[in-house]
Amino acid sequence: MKLLPGMGPSNATRCFEHLAVADHLFSSLREFRPPAAAAGEWDGFCSLLEDLSGTAFDDRGWQTQLTQVRRWYQPHLERLYDGLDTREADLEQLEQISGRYPTRERFLTELTLNPPSAAGDLAGDPLLDEDYLILSTVHSAKGQEWESVFVLNVADGNFPSEFATGKPEMIEEERRLLYVAMTRAKQSLSLVVPLRYHVTQQRRDGDKHVYGARSRFMSDQLLATMDKEFQGRPESKSSRLGSRSDRRIDVNARMREMW
């Protein structure tokens, strides 16, 4: 009722009370006096409800009722909302979906228990959270700049790539790529160097691995300009960053003892 112009909550309540007194016969609505703004639409509204109630318990061709309701609703849709194209498309889609259900009850039950999660509205402007991460290849990063940059796998085999180590000119190209990656940072730059790489195609709890080699581009002179930080288990931290032992092991003697 409140879709009609001028029909607010109080008038709708008054109309519903009139309907209840008349044993909910929709034909009695013609005796109700609507507000002046809704007078021009009242006859069509009453006719629609009378037609629908006349076949309320007949499931033969019930899908045509959706078409009937949509046609009555069309001028109100144009009056109440902007962006009609997407709303009209949603209603047409609903009309098509109704054809999949044999009864009105089945259709309303499915629609109530499993409603659509969203309407087919137009996509809005993309929004980014305050805290987000951009993943980029080095080639795609050319011309870009970010506040903080993390360069992954700065180890031989990646910088330079294992496929580029055959020719000096290709190694120089790899050096330029690393330079591009490092100079994308405005404030903070982190170069991540894995100590070991786990071997693929092993058991889930397997620990087969190979040790990574520091990139040949990371010279001692360059490392002197950076802060070193180890991330890992405490026992590994003490062994990697602690002072070296003065103990010497005669590997040749150990090997001879094995034979």
Among 117, 159, 120, 156, residue whose Cα is nearest residue 137: 159
Top pLDDT among 233 and 9 is at 9
Q: For 88-111, write each residue's pLDDT tens digit.
A: 888 888 888 888 888 888 888 888
Asked whether the beta carbons of 42 and 4 are under 8 A apart, the reply is yes
Q: For 31-82, write each residue's pLDDT tens digit.
A: 999 999 999 999 999 999 998 887 655 666 788 888 889 899 999 988 888 7
User: Of the segments 120-124, 131-135, 176-180, 246-250, which one has the largest average pLDDT value?
Assistant: 176-180
Render the burial of 94-128: b for 16+ CB within 10 Å, e for the rest.
eeeebeebeebeebeeeeeeeeeeeeeeeeeeeee
Sign of the torsion angle spanned by Cα atoms 40, 41, 47, 50: negative
Sign of the torsion angle spanned by Cα atoms 65, 67, 70, 74: negative
Q: What is the rounded average pLDDT of the residues 196-201? A: 85
What pLDDT score does 102 carry?
84
pLDDT above 70: residue 182: yes
What pLDDT score does 240 carry?
47
Domains in the chain with CATH codes? 9-113 (no CATH), 146-241 (3.30.160.800)
Among 44, 34, 37, residue whose Cα is nearest residue 6: 37
The reply to whether the predicted model has a pTM over 0.75 is no
Amino acid at 89: A
- Band (pLDDT 50/70/90 cuts) for residue 213 is confident
What pLDDT score does 35 carry?
92
Mean pLDDT of the chain: 85
CA 8, CA 6: separation in Å to the nearest integer? 6
pLDDT above 80: residue 246: no
3-state secondary structure of 186: strand
